[in-house]
Amino acid sequence: MSKHFTAIKGFPLLAVLAVAVLIANVAFAQAPAGTGTPAAGTPAPTEATPATTPPPTPPTKPIVVNWKLHKLNGNVNVTINPDGSSDFSGGFKDKKPGDDWDITIAVKSTTGAIIVFHYEGDAANGIQFSKTGSSAFLKDDFSSFASKHTWSGVYRFHLNAAGRKKHYEEVEARRKKLHEEAEEAIKKHDEKLLKQKEAEEKAEAQAEAKWEENYEQQHPSSAPPSGGGGGGGSSIGSTISSAVNTVGGVIGDIGSFF
């Protein structure tokens, strides 16, 4: 599906600040130690490239970025043409049910302008995507990218609605099992077993509370409702900020594909 390129040179200050706040608010959670509950938003590999500056591109030839993914079976490519058109495509064969894949590639020119290519999609059956666009801004500034450009890419996974639904179902199943075992201990007047099950229930509740806290940190704009599996949730700010920071850019210099 085609998406149109938007340059943010001279973009309204409030809009730029809003993007800055989005990126600044993203935090990355660690898995709670010693529990069976995973950290929210980190169910699969993360990968990032260093800032890379290839040789100059002839002014009549397209700029091509090829990223061979090391932690997934796939690759991602960016092609920027002298006429201002571009294509962002690629993917991987690995299947990640319950996960969304979020990827950004940032390309910086000699003037400091940065083009951001971004894609996000359901990784249940792997990913294969292609996004095309066209921009007068990119056409006018093509020579500044062709003479010298630096690029960096980053991708991450996060739980989507299906993944969160599965998580809550698993949590509820563990709670039910522990509750039934505790009731059985009461019937048998087994105080030792009852205390054990009460301790396990407490540990489970603490682990789930930590999971909720981690999820809210990872997705501050859309924390999941307690016991539910709906809602959106995206780490878009995180991948954009990482890629842009790596090439040495600031928000006001971004031109974006979304």
Average pLDDT over the chain, rounded to an integer: 76
What is the structure's pLDDT at 152? 97
Q: How many CB atoms lie within 10 A of CB 75?
A: 13
| CA nearest neighbour of 30 among 21, 43, 19, 39 | 39
HEC assignment per residue over 165-194: HHHHHHHHHHHHHHHHHHHHHHHCCCHHHH
Backbone phi and psi for residue 102, each to the nearest 5 degrees, phi listed first? -125, 120
Identify whether residues 40 and 72 lie together within a single domain: yes
Compute the average pLDDT of residues 211-215: 72
What CA–CA distance (Å, rounded) separates 218 from 222?
9
Lowest mean pLDDT segment, chosen from 53-67, 90-104, 115-129, 218-232: 218-232
Residue 49 lies in a domain: yes
Identify whether residues 151 and 173 lie together within a single domain: no
Residue 35 lies in a domain: yes
Identify whether residues 206 and 130 lie together within a single domain: no
Identify whether residues 87 and 189 lie together within a single domain: no
**What is the pLDDT confidence band of residue 256, given thresholds at 50, 70 and 90?**
low
Residue 225 lies in a domain: no
Residue 226 lies in a domain: no
Identify whether residues 10 and 131 lie together within a single domain: yes
- Is residue 47 predicted with pLDDT exceeding 90? yes
What is the structure's pLDDT at 172? 87
- pTM for the full model? 0.65
Q: Can you give the residue range of the structural domain that contains 189?
A: 163-218
Identify whether residues 211 and 110 lie together within a single domain: no
Identify whether residues 197 and 116 lie together within a single domain: no
**What is the pLDDT confidence band of residue 208, given thresholds at 50, 70 and 90?**
confident
* 60: amino acid identity, one letter: T
